[in-house]
Amino acid sequence: MRRRLWLLLALGAVVIAAVLAAAPRFLARGRAGADQGVTITFRFPEELAGPVERLVGAFHQEHPRIRVLPVPVPGDPARRRESLEREMADLNTVETDLFAVELSWLPAWHAAGWARSLEPLGADQLTEAFVDQAAAAVRFSDGTYGLPWVLEPSLLYYRRDLIEGAGLDPPESWGDVVRLSRQFMDSGAVRWGLVWAGTPPEHLARLFVELVWANGGDLVQDGQVAVARTPAREALAFLRDLIHTHRVSPPAALDGSLAGVRRAFQDGDPLMVHHPPALWRTAAERQAGAERWGVALWPPGPQGTAAVTSVDGWALVLHPQTPRLEAAWTLARWLVGPGAQQLLARETGRLPALVAPYHEPGAPERQPFLSTMYTLVASSGRPLPAFDDWPAVADAVARHVRQAVTGQRTPEEALERLAQELERLIPPQARRTERDTPIGLQRRTAD
C-alpha cells in the first residue's frame, strides 16, 4: 500500500514537472497568436486605389495589430451594384468588414439592413467634426449608419484662360452658356462649347436633376411627383437643344464617359464641361488647372432664381454582422481623421467631409480649387434625393431623358412616362425627406 502511494506521488511529480516545462512554450505560442492581430477587409472605389494604398500603409504603422486588406470595387455603378448586392445576399457570411458607399446609395443600404447602426459605438460624439449636412446624410430616424468620408460636388468647369482672358464672366444664365459657347466656337478657340457625359446612367440623371433644380423645380415637390411640370420640361428641352438646335454639345455626349470628358478638357477642348468628380489627379494636372481652369455653379434657368450644384460623395459603412467590429471601427474612425482627409483632398481633389481641413493654415494657397469648391458648395450645394432606391430612380430618369434627347419622344411625352414610373418607384411616404434641403457647408469658427 505504502509502495503504491509512493508510485502515485512520483508519477504526479513527473506530470507536474512536464506541465511546468511545457508552459513557456504554450505561453509563447499564445503571445505569438495575439501578436498576429486581426485582418479586416475594406472595399473602396477603384479610382481611389493609389491614395487608399498610402492610407492603409500609414494606418498599419499606427495600428500594427490590425491588418487591412483593401479591395477595390468596380468603377461602373451597375457592376459595382451587382457585386455588392451579390456579396450582401447572405448577411451571415461576412466577406467585407468596412465599405465605402455612395451617400446617394446609403438610404437603400439602410432600408435593406446592410449597414450597422453606429450609435452604440459613439458615432454621435463625432457629429460636430463633420460639415453639418454631411453628417445629416448618414443619419436616419433610427440612428446613424455611416461616417461621411469625402464629398463630390458636381460643378461647371470652364476655360478660365479664354473666358476671363477675354474680360468675360462665367455663365450666369442658360442663355450665357449658349452665347459663350457659340462665341468661342465661332472664333475657332474650341471645338465644342459644353461637353457632358451621358454614361453611366447615374451621371446623366444627375445632370438632369441639376438642370431641374436650377430652373426652380424638383423630382418631388410638396409630396407629389413633379417631374412633368414646367421647370423639368424646360430643363429637358434645353438639354436636347444643346445638341440639336444650338449645336454647342456633341451628339456623342449621350454615349460619352467621364473619362472622355476629363481627357478632352485637359487637352484644351471644350470651353466648359459638366463633371462631378475632380478633374485633376496629379500635381501636374493641378498646376495646369490653376493656370487655365475655372470652377462655377450651374446657372439658373428661366424659372430659376439661383445657381446650384448637387453633392454626392462616399460614406464608410460597417457590415452589420462583422465579427471584427472593434478593428473595423478603428479603421473607419482613422479614415475620417484630419490626416487621411487631407491626403484624399490633396491627391484626389475631393472635398473633405471633415471640417478641420478647411481651416488648416495655408490650405487656400496650396489647394485653391479645394477652397473654391468649398465656397460654391457652401452657398448652393444640395444633396442628391434621399430616396430608398435612388439607383433605380436614376436609371429611369436617364432612360427617359435619353429618349427625349434622341428624338424618340418629345420632352413632354418622355416626362409624362417618367412621372408614371416615378409614381411606382417613389411611394408616397418617401416623397418627403428631412434631407431635401441645401447641404449648407457652413464654415465653423476655430475652437
H/E element, 318:
strand 309-318
Contacts of 425 (CB under 8 A, 6+ apart): 387, 389, 392, 393, 396
User: Looking at residue 211, which CATH number applies to its domain?
Assistant: 3.40.190.10
Q: Where would I find the beta strands (DSSP E) of 46-124?
A: 66-73, 98-102
Domain finish residue from 367, 395, 412: 367
- What Cα–Cα distance (Å) separates residue 365 from each residue in 290, 362, 369, 431? 11, 5, 9, 43
115 and 249 co-located in one domain: no
Cis amide linkage into residue 107, ω under 30° from 0? no
In a domain, 171, yes or no: yes
For the chain, 447 residues long, the average pLDDT of each consecutive 10-residue run is: 44 41 35 60 93 96 97 86 90 96 92 94 84 81 93 91 96 98 97 94 94 96 94 97 97 88 86 81 72 90 93 94 97 95 83 83 68 80 85 95 96 97 88 46 34
Instruction: Determine, yes or no, domain membership for 40.
Output: yes
Nine cell digits for residue 290: 490653376
Q: How many helices (H) and strands (E) does the chain have?
A: 17, 15
Does residue 20 lie in a domain region?
A: no
pLDDT of residue 124: 81
DSSP code per residue over 175-219: HHHHHHHHHHHHTTS-S-SEE----SHHHHHHHHHHHHHHTT--S
Report the alpha-carbon angle 70-148-222, nearest 5: 135
Cβ(349)–Cβ(128) under 8 Å?
no
350, 394: one domain: no
Residues 115 and 95 in one domain: yes
Same domain, 192 and 295: yes
Q: Enter the C-alpha cell of residue 345.
A: 483632398
- pLDDT computed for residue 348 by the predictor: 80
Rounded to 5°, angle at Cα 226 from 197 and 417: 70
Tell me the longest C-alpha to C-alpha distance in the chain: 118
HSE-CB of 423 using CA atoms within 13 angstroms = 7
Average pLDDT, rounded, for the chain: 84
In angstroms, the first-to-last Cα distance of the chain is: 83
Q: What's the pLDDT score for residue 2?
A: 44
223 sits in the region (left: phi over 0; alpha: psi -120 to 50; else beta) called left
Residue 125 lies in a domain: yes
Do 207 and 87 fall into the same domain?
no
Q: Which set of grid coordinates corresponds to residue 150?
A: 469625402
Spell out the residues 6+ positions from residue 129 whose beta carbon is closer than 8 angstroms to its own: 336, 354, 355, 356
Exposed e or buried b for every residue in 385-410, given b needs 16+ CB within 10 A?
bbbbbbbbbbbbbbbbbbbbbeeebe
Task: Answer positive or negative: Cα dihedral of 80, 85, 88, 94.
Answer: negative
Residue 230 and residue 326 share a domain:
no
Pull the grid cell for residue 265: 478638357
**Does residue 47 belong to any structural domain of this protein?**
yes
Within 8 A by CB and 6+ apart from 174, the residues are: 214, 238, 299, 300, 301, 302
CA pair distance 395, 309, nearest whole angstrom: 20
Q: Provide the whole-model pTM.
A: 0.84
Does residue 232 fall inside a structural domain? yes
Q: Does the residue 14 lie in any domain? A: no
Q: Is residue 165 located within the same domain as residue 143?
A: no
As a whole number of angstroms, the distance between CA 364 and CA 108 comes to: 36
| Boundaries of domain holding 85 | 35-151+313-367
Burial class from Cβ neighbours inside 10 Å (0-12, 13-18, 19+) for residue 378 reads middle
Is 165 in the same domain as 258?
yes
Residues 249 and 158 in one domain: yes
Burial of 284 (0-12, 13-18, 19+ CB in 10 A): exposed
- Radius of gyration, CA atoms only, the chain: 27
* Amino acid of residue 265: F
| Residue 266 near residue 279 (C-beta atoms within 8 A) | yes
Q: Is 413 helix (H, G, I), strand (E, B) or coil?
A: helix
Kindly state whether residues 389 and 424 are assigned to the same domain. yes
Report the half-sphere exposure of 3 (CA within 13 A, side-chain side).
0
The rounded distance, in Å, linking the Cα atoms of 376 and 440 is: 10
| Residue 340, amino acid | A
The verdict on 79 and 216 lying in the same domain is: no
Please report whether residue 339 resides in a domain.
yes
Query: How many domains does the chain fold into?
Result: 2
Q: Which of 419, 82, 382, 376 lies closest to 206, judged by CA?
A: 382
User: Do residues 303 and 346 both lie within one domain?
Assistant: no
